[in-house]
Amino acid sequence: MTTSAQNDGAPIDPSGSVPRLSPLGDRAFLARFPSEHEAAAWAAAVTAMAWRGVVDVVPAYRDVAVFADPDVVDLEGLELHLRALVPSVGQAAIGRRLVIPVVYDGPDLEVIAGQLNVTLDEVVACHTGPVYDVFAIGFLPGFPYAGWLRPPLAGLPRRRSPRTRVPAGSVAVAGRQTGVYPGESPGGWHILGRTPLRLIDMAQGYFPIRAGDQIQFTAITADEYEARLHERL
Amino acid sequence: MGLIVIDPGQAATVQDGGRAGYRHWGVPRGGVFDTFSAGLANALVGNPSGSAVVEFTLRGGEYQAEGPLALALAGAPMPARVIEADSSIRLLEPPTSFVLKPGERLRLGVATQGARTYLAVRGGWQTPLVLGSRSFETYLRPRDLLPAEPGSIPVHRPREPAWEISSDRPFRVLPGPDAALASHVLEALSSRLFHVGSSSNRMGLRLEGEPIELASDPSRLSTPVAPGAIQLAGRELIVLGVASGTMGGYPHIAQVVTADLDRLGQLAPGDVLRFAWITLDEARRIDRESRERRRAIFSRIAMATRVG
């Protein structure tokens, strides 16, 4: 019971270079940072070290999980390395900027416009305006968690009753976040529209969006949607 | 050549060691839920531990051989019999290796204890490989063919290890990253009994017990999680299973130690479970001992199988 309390006690370094590191079970660590930027830089630094026995480095917002194989690496030794690691300036790799075409005809669009007391066009303009940072990939293979949404679109709570079936390609929002469902899944976010593009191809190991990339949405017509259906992002 | 599904039982899937190293793309590791039992079935046919096996849940079903197959069954005890070509019956006593001749059927009943039973074939099931793994969450259906190489093997029944009922011992836990949010939940976790809910599956197990109150934080961001994570979802605790997603939004209160994850896979709806806190040092020691023990058992079986 005392283990995580000891590890959680580390103060947050004001320069942001030292994470608050705690165990994530007995074969992984969770590093927590004051900002998304510091977490991304540290994740890039850990990945770049390519330590033997480090199985996966998973950035997500201000957290980074590091999974290790105790058959290959001594976990106490790895923890010391992780605590001592200081990312060099600019280590967070510059991500790519990807443009995702969307037909804005989603089942929640009108309800949202009504709730926010704005026109459909204003909802679309609000969603297509910003360039979003991708903070994490997860929950589903290839699902980008991106943000931040701007007012008035930001701040919608998740649907009270999640849909049991959200189609692949659905573009959705919740809270300050936006994302795209790469495959069919249950989901509680509000669906604004759909992209014709394939966001992943598991069999080919094709995962074009990575944490650290930027995405921007652009409005297309239903005809353009049909023309580009199943094209890869 | 291979095995034809006649009746896929309650929920049968093909699983192996899973997809390691793709969590940053949102791809969970997945793979067999009880890695020891699957490894035991594989060892009995001379396979490496992570070869593809069929994972049966609660009821096994019925399967017919398309050629001579060298097979092994291990895991949750299930009545197991071979229906021979002339309809006579040969009883199997798992864990055991055995052969199905062309046309013979394997008939598996309902698990008498535990939840998951594994069927290995010499060389592993040759179902499609994606991102280095044959694991899929898709349930087998009648008339599916599980491809495999033909083979033969003597019947071998290892004397150890004895089958252990999962809920007999407490599940050992470490504090999760959000333990500090919820000291009263920590207290509840180790002092109460929980029942495994009926909607439990490879994604997660619901723990039914007295409701637990914790103020929710709507601005909470999702964070990486792993199988064995105990989260407070609303007023109910859930334990993430082997096929759970890579990220979660609920407070992560505690984490089942790696050495006890296999036992999670053998819990059936209605089972009672308890938790006990241990330290990180103890968890790592138990994990090391557990890995050494399984290596020793599998290599002994491999030797015995080779001698015949």
- B144 and B176 part of one domain: no
- Residue A57 CA to residue A40 CA, distance in Å, equals 11
Instruction: Give the pairing type, strands A214-219 and A97-102.
Output: parallel
CATH of the domain at B8: 2.60.120
| Nearest CB partner across the interface for B24, out of A32, A137, A203 | A137
pLDDT tier for residue B40 given thresholds of 50, 70 and 90:
very high
Which residue of chain B has the CA closest to A147? B221
- pLDDT tens figures, B257-297: 999 999 999 999 999 999 999 999 999 999 999 999 999 99
Q: Residues of A with CB below 8 A from B242's CB?
A: none
> Which uninterrupted H or E stretch holds A75?
helix A75-84
- pLDDT tens figures, A39-95: 999 999 999 999 999 999 999 999 999 999 999 999 999 999 999 998 876 666 678
Give the Cα-Cα-Cα angle B63, B67, B72 (nearest 5 degrees). Answer: 55
Which residue of chain A has the CA closest to B222? A60
Nearest Cα neighbor of B127 from B29, B52, B64 is B52
- pLDDT tens figures, B42-80: 999 999 999 999 999 999 999 999 999 999 999 999 999
| Nearest CB partner across the interface for A4, out of B26, B131, B179 | B179
Going A46 to A47 to A51 to A55, the CA torsion angle's sign is positive
Provide the 3-class DSSP secondary structure of residue A184. Answer: coil
- Residue A47 CA to residue A20 CA, distance in Å, equals 18
- Residue A99 CA to residue A68 CA, distance in Å, equals 34
Question: Helices A109-116 and A120-128, interaxial angle, to 10°?
Answer: 100
Contact A3 B280 (CB under 8 A): yes
pLDDT tier for residue B168 given thresholds of 50, 70 and 90:
confident
Contact A5 B24 (CB under 8 A): no
Start-end of CATH 3.30.1360.40 domains in chain A: 3-84
Contact B245 A136 (CB under 8 A): no
| Nearest CB partner across the interface for B131, out of A4, A75, A202 | A202
Mean pLDDT within B17-33: 96
**Contacts with A60 (C-beta within 8 Å, 6 or more apart), sequence order:** A39, A135, A136, A138, A145, A211, B221, B222, B223, B224, B247
- B199 and B139 part of one domain: no
- Residue A71 CA to residue B290 CA, distance in Å, equals 12
- B129 and B241 part of one domain: no
- B181 and B38 part of one domain: no
Q: Residues of A with CB below 8 A from B191's CB?
A: none
* A–B interface: beta-carbon pairs under 8 A: 135
Mean pLDDT within B223-248: 92
Examine residue B229 and state whether it is found in any structural domain, yes or no: yes
Residue A219: per-residue pLDDT: 98
Contact B257 A139 (CB under 8 A): no
Rounded to a whole number of angstroms, the distance from the CA of A84 to the nearest CA of chain B is 20
Rounded to a whole number of angstroms, the distance from the CA of A115 to the nearest CA of chain B is 19
Mean pLDDT within B182-200: 89
Contact A141 B27 (CB under 8 A): yes
How far, in whole angstroms, is CA A132 from its chain's centroid? 10
- B30 and B137 part of one domain: yes
Residue A17: per-residue pLDDT: 58
- B272 and B135 part of one domain: no
Tokens of B218: 């709507």
- Residue B53 CA to residue B73 CA, distance in Å, equals 10
Examine residue B286 and state whether it is found in any structural domain, yes or no: no
Q: How many structural domains are present in chain B?
A: 2
Segments forming the whole domain that contains residue B191: 166-277
- B157 and B41 part of one domain: yes
- ipTM score: 0.94
Residue A2: per-residue pLDDT: 35
Contact B291 A71 (CB under 8 A): yes
Which CATH superfamily includes the segment(s) A97-228?
Cyclophilin-like (2.40.100.10)
Provide the 3-class DSSP secondary structure of residue B75. Answer: strand
From chain B, which residues contact A within 8 Å (Cβ)? 20-27, 130-131, 174-177, 179-180, 186, 218-219, 221-224, 226, 228-229, 245-248, 255-258, 277, 279-281, 283-284, 287-288, 291
Q: Residues of B with CB below 8 A from A200's CB?
A: 25
Query: At A98, phi and psi to the nearest 5?
Result: -115, 140
- B86 and B123 part of one domain: yes
Which residue of chain B has the CA closest to A212? B24
What's the one-letter identity of residue B214? L
CB under 8 A, 24+ apart: contacts of A114-121: A115/A156, A116/A152, A116/A153, A118/A152
Q: Residues of B with CB below 8 A from A23's CB?
A: 174, 255, 280
- Residue B105 CA to residue B119 CA, distance in Å, equals 13
- pLDDT tens figures, B199-220: 899 999 999 988 888 777 767 7
Top CATH class, A3-84: alpha beta
Residue B308: per-residue pLDDT: 45
For chain A (length 233 residues), average pLDDT per consecutive 10? 37 56 95 92 93 96 96 97 86 83 97 95 97 94 95 88 90 94 91 97 93 96 96 94
* Percent residues over pLDDT 90 in chain B: 82
- Residue A231 CA to residue A206 CA, distance in Å, equals 13
Tokens of B124: 């592993």
CATH of the domain at B193: 2.40.100.10
Decide if B97 contacts B40 (C-beta within 8 A). Answer: no
Q: How many residues does chain B have?
A: 308
Mean pLDDT within B126-131: 96
Examine residue B293 and state whether it is found in any structural domain, yes or no: no
- B263 and B173 part of one domain: yes
- Residue A128 CA to residue A130 CA, distance in Å, equals 6
Residue A4: per-residue pLDDT: 37
- B15 and B82 part of one domain: yes
- B99 and B201 part of one domain: no
Bigger pLDDT: B159 or A200?
A200
Decide if B208 contacts B199 (C-beta within 8 A). Answer: no
Q: Give chain B's mean pLDDT.
A: 94
- B147 and B245 part of one domain: no
Decide if B116 contacts B265 (C-beta within 8 A). Answer: yes
Between the CA of residue A219 and those of A121, A154, A191, what are the distances in Å? Answer: 10, 19, 14
- Residue A153 CA to residue A92 CA, distance in Å, equals 29
- Residue B246 CA to residue B46 CA, distance in Å, equals 33
Residue A13: per-residue pLDDT: 43
Contact A61 B222 (CB under 8 A): yes
Which residue of chain A has the CA closest to B261? A25
Residue A10: per-residue pLDDT: 41
Mean pLDDT within B232-253: 90
Rounded to a whole number of angstroms, the distance from the CA of A202 to the nearest CA of chain B is 7
Examine residue B21 and state whether it is found in any structural domain, yes or no: yes
Contact B22 A56 (CB under 8 A): yes
Going B257 to A24 to B197 to B109, the CA torsion angle's sign is negative
Between the CA of residue A47 and those of A27, A64, A101, B122, what are the distances in Å? Answer: 17, 11, 31, 37
Tokens of B65: 């051989």
Which residue of chain B has the CA closest to A43? B24
**Contacts with B256 (C-beta within 8 Å, 6 or more apart), sequence order:** A25, B171, B172, B173, B228, B229, B230, B239, B264
Mean pLDDT within B4-28: 96
Query: At A61, phi and psi to the nearest 5?
Result: 55, -115
